[in-house]
Amino acid sequence: MARPKAYDQDAVLDAAMRVFWRKGYVGTSMADIYGATGLKPGNLYATFTDKETLFHRAFEAYINLFRSSLPEGLSGRAAIHAWLDTQARLATEDPDRKGCLIINTVTEREAHSPRTQALAMERLDEITDFFRTELQAAHRAGEIAADADIEGGAAALTGTVFAIMSLGRAGASATTIRHVAEQAKLLVR
């Protein structure tokens, strides 16, 4: 009879996610994972098989955090402005200055398998989709110019989030990061 797992898998994934988020995939050793999770190699490998599988599961846990940061009850310009403010706050208030695991993974792409690269790019596309949807809502509500370039605006706003999180990870000042967010809001006025 198999012995039941004596650990909380969600807590293990959260701990692993935070290590990958802080140190990157390449910079994270299995010893780091063992230390963060408290698991022994046998337990970890029995459940997650290898580092890449563990990363994928941890990345999916991060996606839930990412999605929970999206504004609720807002649409159009208000949703875009609120999410840019959230991104600036997250980038500056994190004492570890981890940035965004999606963006960190995209920038570390050479270290990842094609499957992981595709997973990260799908999430980056999800950010663009958020902006596209909200720009379309802003257009319908007359909050932006009738001839606004929705696709170009969505791409530019995604680039802004990329910049905000990269600047946060690099340790840029909160003032600089807030300026980037504020300037991006001018695209949606």
| pLDDT tens readout for residues 10-57 | 999 999 999 999 999 999 999 999 999 998 888 888 888 899 999 999
Instruction: Give, for 53, the enclosing helix (H) or strand (E).
Output: helix 51-68
d(CA 127, CA 162): 10
**pLDDT(180) > 70:** yes
d(CA 147, CA 52): 45
- Note the pLDDT tens digit of each residue in 127-173: 999 999 999 999 999 999 999 999 999 999 999 999 999 999 999 99
| pLDDT at residue 189, as a whole number | 81
DSSP 141: T
Taken in order 38, 40, 43, 49, the sign of the CA dihedral is positive
> Which structural domains are found in the chain, ordered by start?
9-50 (1.10.10.60), 69-185 (1.10.357.10)
Q: Terminal CA-to-CA distance of the chain, rounded, Å? A: 64
Mean pLDDT of the chain, nearest integer: 93
DSSP 66: H
**pLDDT(97) > 60:** yes
149: alpha, beta or left? (left if phi > 0; alpha if psi -120 to 50) = beta
- 5: pLDDT confidence band, cut at 50, 70 and 90? low
